[in-house]
Structure 1
Amino acid sequence: MKFNILGFGLLFATLLSLSACEDENSYSAPLSRFEVEDLTVTSGDESVTMQWKKQADKPDPESYLITWVSSSADEGAKSEEVDGTTTSYTVEDLTNDVAYTFGVQARYADGLAQMIKATATPKTTRIPVTDFKATAGDKCVFLSWTEPVTDLNYKYEIIVSENNNALKTLEVPQGTKSLLVSELSNDIEYRFDISAVYNHGRSETLSSSATPGHITAISCLPENPHVFELCKLEYNPAFFINGTISSVQWSVNGSPVSANENLVTMFSIAGKNTVTVEVTFTDGTKASGSIDINVENFAWSEFPNAGYQKASNFAFSADGQTLYSVSQTSKTLFAINAITGLARWQQTFEAATYGAGIAVGPDGKVYIGTEDKNGSLYALTENGTIRWTVTMGAAVKAAPAVTSDGYVYALCDGAKLIAYDADNGNQIWSAQLSGNAGGVVVDANGNVYAGTSAGVWSYSSRGDKRWASEALVVTERGGSLAINSKDNIIYAVLKAKAGIAALDMNSGATKWTYPTSNNDCYHPVVDNDGNVYFCEKNGGLYALTSSGSVKWKYTDNLNYTYSGFALGENGHAYITQYGSPFAILDFDPDGNANILSNITQTMSPVCIGPDGRLYYGCNGSIQSYNIGVQPLRAGWYCCGGNLQGSNSLR
């Protein structure tokens, strides 16, 4: 607490000058006047208690002059004289939360001794309730609150008012946390004022208002949600008046879903959804209530004016409510409300990123690299403000990898791999590889794998080199690596018809390679059996087993394909074609292809959102197509490894 030292000094000077008028020599003989020792001040409620000692083996003073002054300009200095045998004094009628400075001077026959000072701030001990809430019922209102944190005894006083006129006052004993106020009238607003009454006074008063009326057992916000929109459901305590509730069970459409006090959920079915809450009272009896919620269908299928998403992944926030996408043509990162299809925010950078993509960390921050001349890596908050930026010295062409234990790994051209502190962007370690950037991923143990046009390297989370495999030409940009944890394999897609390589994650030894026939390969994904799926530029689409044999391949209507697969929990693999006929393809587990829809030109990897829709970028917009299938949620099931694009299993 700050206070005005100059003002304090002037006030004390005034008091001292008054003392000097009584004894002009009050400070002329200090050896005969002895100041007090060990002055302590203890804060109370609107009071401060002072304690001190006189010097040992020194004569008692005639009296002590007690002086105090407030840091507030509204209060002047005050003083009190007490008997010389007294060694404590309590100053009353102070203002709580205001700093005071206290002084003690021993008075002797020839004047006052030197002043000893100490400061203190009175604090209230009349702690009020918190979280006071009034919930309307049918001709009643249910009041609830959180008790004061104190060891003192108190009781509650609740005043019930209508139109500022007090109707009645209710006294409630300590230990109570709720109260049902009955015999009220519907459609009239009542105000409730609650205070904790202590032996030494009343706490601050809290107020809440409610209007009784016909009620339902459950409230839902928003009232008419869209499918997969997060909703919060609360039961109304005023509906359940048979006792104190000890436990709660929620069900949706007849299926139990949660035993939490409130239900936070989303609905996957449009139309009527019935939510039921069953409460158990402390005496073992039960009661239930339900609400029918009209869930609206998807609000959008296209986000326009989004530029062109060139080979970079989509990513979702952890709650599935925000979709992130980056456009290489407009150099803009978009955060889109996945429910409404409206932009939450957008951030435009100096340069684009071709294929590097987006990673969302467990803390909600968004990480992205760009290809400006300095090679920038950005960390943005979930609200779109830039948290930190670092420059890597060359274009950041690999999507970053972010882990749950606070690391961000980035790879730039010139093959410089750097580990950063996710919280502040400080560099933790770096390693110089060779070649141009391909991809960087992290396994469940925190080991890091980086692929470039000159090979694949692995490092521990501390930056210790584990191995290097420098005979591979990994495809540059974007997602070129994927992890098969089941079989301890790191997959790397390769350039110039070299296809794909499977490396042992512990040693870096090549287990097998599978060459292709036309061009560079892109975006491997892995199902929970270890099978790997990838695409070939103007070539085929492939699914290989973990031993390198062909599960299936698709070479019909060969076109430029950059988009990469997304795997569904139904065992199907989905991808879009860049060239004519510009289509969404659905492959069943045996590799049989089905054209779901014709679309326009696309280059982005596809992603199955938590709402069961397939997301992809077309030339100028972001589009979605409802396949009614959830993502696999196991293995490395989409570009970036998961819906957050974290490129990490840790």
Structure 2
Amino acid sequence: MERSDGNLKQILAIFFSTPAIGTDGTIYLVSGNLYAIKPNGKLKWELKLGTLAVSSPVIASDGTIYVGTLGENEANEDVSYLYAISTDGKIKWKSKVSGRILSSPAIATDGTIYAGSTVSFYAVNPNGTLKWRIDIGEGVISTPAVSQDGTVYVGSDGLYAVEPTGKIKWKFETRNGIFSSPAISSDGTIYVADGGNIFDKKQKEEKNKNICAIDADGKLKWKYTTNSSAIVSSPAIPKGGTVYIGGTDGHDVLYAIDLSVG
């Protein structure tokens, strides 16, 4: 990467998240700082966030970049912040969140930002004001998915369907916690893996994690039992009737499941 003056610069940081790319090709990468990098590799700007971020930045239709960070207060309690940042690197607002933000936010068509922490699940208005907050299971460590009708699907100790008002529609019980993010197909089916909470030793050691297909009413359509001890990646559903998801059974494994069979 190069600085704006053309000199090479190395970013001395550890990155846990995936970059996001704006409509103009700008690449956004976050660690303890948020970096905006031009397509030619030159640094556009750098914003110090103060604490580590392990979730990926998300870009709204107006170009606003949303990212969550980790942190602690003076009492050593977990306190995170959800940031809204403009395309020129200025902080528009930041919202305090209890617990740790380990997953990326999701943005609904009305601009609502949904973000989970190890304590609660939040809906935040585009201006940074809190819309609602609810406690879900054992906290949220997976990125939520928003369906076309506005229902928000999020994993915790099971899969939850949450209305835009914050009311829980239903919960689908899974054998293990959900670490990866759910995926929604064009027919409204939700695909999720009960891959286990990798911070839970018992769940981490158990094998035979399941990949589940669930309808919009919270009913199981089918499940596929793997030999994996952990599934922390999210399902991918390209056109063609196959769902792909990665796991591990001591070795990395890629599963390809025919949706017509399950």
| Fold match by TM threshold 0.5 | yes
Equivalent residue, structure 2, for 1:274: none
Q: Distance in 2 between matches of 1:581 and 1:436?
A: 29
> Does residue 247 of structure 2 align to residue 577 of structure 1?
yes
Q: Distance in 2 between matches of 1:461 and 1:420?
A: 11
Q: Distance in 2 between matches of 1:546 and 1:395?
A: 36
Equivalent residue, structure 1, for 2:13: 351
Instruction: Tell me which amino acid in the other structure corresponds to 2:91.
Output: Q
Residues 573-612 of structure 1: per-residue CA shift (max 9 Å, x gap)? 11222224643321122453xxxxxxxxxxxxxxxxxxxx
> Does residue 143 of structure 2 align to residue 480 of structure 1?
yes
> Does residue 121 of structure 2 align to residue 430 of structure 1?
no
Q: Distance in 1 between matches of 2:261 and 2:174?
A: 17
Instruction: Tell me which amino acid in the other structure corresponds to 1:500.
Output: L
> Does residue 180 of structure 2 align to residue 522 of structure 1?
yes
Instruction: Tell me which amino acid in the other structure corresponds to 2:173.
Output: P
The correspondence for 1:384, drawn from 36, 41, 50, is 41
Q: CA deviation at 1:534?
A: 1.9
The correspondence for 1:456, drawn from 111, 121, 133, is 121
Equivalent residue, structure 1, for 2:27: 366
TM-score (norm 1): 0.34
Q: CA deviation at 1:508?
A: 1.0
Q: How many equivalent residue pairs?
A: 235
Q: Distance in 1 between matches of 2:171 and 2:9?
A: 41
Q: CA deviation at 1:407?
A: 0.5
Q: CA deviation at 1:404?
A: 2.6
Residues 160-181 of structure 1: per-residue CA shift (max 9 Å, x gap)? xxxxxxxxxxxxxxxxxxxxxx
Residues 405-460 of structure 1: per-residue CA shift (max 9 Å, x gap)? 120111111220111102x1101111111110032111122221111111111122
The correspondence for 1:546, drawn from 201, 216, 232, is 216
Equivalent residue, structure 1, for 2:230: 560
Equivalent residue, structure 2, for 1:513: 171
Q: Which moved more, 1:434-443 or 1:537-546?
A: 537-546
Instruction: Tell me which amino acid in the other structure corresponds to 1:405.
Output: D
Q: Distance in 2 between matches of 1:579 and 1:434?
A: 34
Cα root mean square deviation, aligned? 2.2
Equivalent residue, structure 1, for 2:75: none
Q: Distance in 1 between matches of 2:146 and 2:238?
A: 17
C-alpha spacing 1:559/1:347, structure 2 compared with 1 (3 Å): farther
Instruction: Tell me which amino acid in the other structure corresponds to 1:411.
Output: G
SS of the residue corresponding to residue 20 of structure 2 reads strand
> Does residue 163 of structure 2 align to residue 504 of structure 1?
yes
Equivalent residue, structure 2, for 1:342: none
Q: Distance in 1 between matches of 2:151 and 2:10?
A: 37
Q: Distance in 2 between matches of 1:520 and 1:399?
A: 18
Asked if the contact 2:159–2:178 (Cα under 8 Å) also holds between the matched residues in 1, the reply is no
Q: CA deviation at 1:519?
A: 4.0
Equivalent residue, structure 1, for 2:155: 493
SS of the residue corresponding to residue 352 of structure 1 reads coil
1:156-167 counterparts in 2 under 5 A?
none
TM-score (norm 2): 0.82
Instruction: Tell me which amino acid in the other structure corresponds to 1:530.
Output: G
C-alpha spacing 1:481/1:347, structure 2 compared with 1 (3 Å): farther
Equivalent residue, structure 1, for 2:54: 397
Q: CA deviation at 1:475?
A: 3.9
Q: Distance in 2 between matches of 1:529 and 1:569?
A: 12
1:57-68 counterparts in 2 under 5 A?
none
Q: CA deviation at 1:381?
A: 1.1
Equivalent residue, structure 1, for 2:81: 416
Asked if the contact 1:378–1:388 (Cα under 8 Å) also holds between the matched residues in 2, the reply is yes
Q: CA deviation at 1:557?
A: 1.7
SS of the residue corresponding to residue 522 of structure 1 reads coil
SS of the residue corresponding to residue 557 of structure 1 reads coil
Residues 281-338 of structure 1: per-residue CA shift (max 9 Å, x gap)? xxxxxxxxxxxxxxxxxxxxxxxxxxxxxxxxxxxxxxxxxxxxxxxxxxx9xxxxxx
Residues 526-565 of structure 1: per-residue CA shift (max 9 Å, x gap)? 1112221122135221221121111221113233222221
C-alpha spacing 1:395/1:472, structure 2 compared with 1 (3 Å): farther
Q: CA deviation at 1:520?
A: 4.0
Q: Distance in 2 between matches of 1:396 and 1:429?
A: 17
Asked if the contact 2:227–2:249 (Cα under 8 Å) also holds between the matched residues in 1, the reply is no
1:23-172 counterparts in 2 under 5 A?
none
SS of the residue corresponding to residue 51 of structure 2 reads coil
Q: Distance in 1 between matches of 2:20 and 2:187?
A: 25
More strand per residue: 1 or 2? 1
Q: Distance in 2 between matches of 1:467 and 1:456?
A: 9
Instruction: Tell me which amino acid in the other structure corresponds to 1:529.
Output: D
C-alpha spacing 1:521/1:347, structure 2 compared with 1 (3 Å): farther
In terms of Rg, which structure is larger?
1
Instruction: Tell me which amino acid in the other structure corresponds to 2:257.
Output: F
Asked if the contact 2:144–2:152 (Cα under 8 Å) also holds between the matched residues in 1, the reply is yes
C-alpha spacing 1:362/1:513, structure 2 compared with 1 (3 Å): same
Asked if the contact 2:144–2:181 (Cα under 8 Å) also holds between the matched residues in 1, the reply is yes
SS of the residue corresponding to residue 62 of structure 2 reads coil
Instruction: Tell me which amino acid in the other structure corresponds to 1:481.
Output: P
Equivalent residue, structure 1, for 2:73: none
Asked if the contact 2:112–2:126 (Cα under 8 Å) also holds between the matched residues in 1, the reply is yes
The share of aligned pairs that are identical, in percent, is 25
Asked if the contact 1:368–1:400 (Cα under 8 Å) also holds between the matched residues in 2, the reply is yes
Q: Distance in 2 between matches of 1:420 and 1:362?
A: 15
Instruction: Tell me which amino acid in the other structure corresponds to 1:488.
Output: G
Asked if the contact 2:51–2:69 (Cα under 8 Å) also holds between the matched residues in 1, the reply is yes
The correspondence for 1:532, drawn from 176, 190, 194, is 190
Q: CA deviation at 1:472?
A: 4.0
Asked if the contact 1:559–1:578 (Cα under 8 Å) also holds between the matched residues in 2, the reply is yes
